[in-house]
């Protein structure tokens, strides 16, 4: 059985920020991969689909992080 860990109020913003950072890395990397695949298969190895995919991924992660951290205002 999992034991619930007691989380202090002071630690909550740090944990949410860590989650935001991990989310940004995962979604930015996913966007990079999708952009690279599209670039390789359809657009003769151009750079802009990779940058666009990465930007979309980081943008989605930023919006999610902004929503999560808004509860501390």
Instruction: Dump pLDDT digits (tens) for 19-29.
Output: 999 999 999 99
Residue 2 has pLDDT above 70, yes or no: no
On whether residue 58 sits in a domain, the answer given is: yes
The distance between the two most distant Cα atoms of the chain, rounded to a whole number of Å, is: 53
CA atoms within 13 A on the CB side of 56: 11
- Domain range holding 44? 13-71
Instruction: Evaluate whether 68 touches 20 at the Cβ level (below 8 Å).
Output: yes
On whether residue 8 sits in a domain, the answer given is: no
On whether residue 30 sits in a domain, the answer given is: yes
On whether residue 53 sits in a domain, the answer given is: yes
Q: What single-letter DSSP state applies at residue 6?
A: P
How many domains does the structure of the chain reveal?
Answer: 1
Instruction: Evaluate whether 58 touches 35 at the Cβ level (below 8 Å).
Output: no
Query: What is the percentage of the chain residues whose pLDDT exceeds 70?
Result: 93
On whether residue 57 sits in a domain, the answer given is: yes
Q: Which of the residue ranges 3-7, 24-28, 42-46, 65-69 would you say has the lowest mean pLDDT?
A: 3-7
């Amino acid at each position: 059985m999992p034991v619930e860990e007691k989380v202090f109020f002071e630690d909550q913003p740090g944990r949410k920020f860590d989650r935001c950072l991990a989310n940004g890395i995962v979604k930015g990397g996913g966007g990079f991969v999708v952009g690279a695949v599209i670039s390789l298969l359809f657009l003769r190895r151009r750079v802009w689909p990779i940058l666009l995919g990465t930007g979309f991924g980081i943008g989605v992660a930023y919006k999610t992080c902004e929503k999560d951290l808004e509860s501390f205002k």
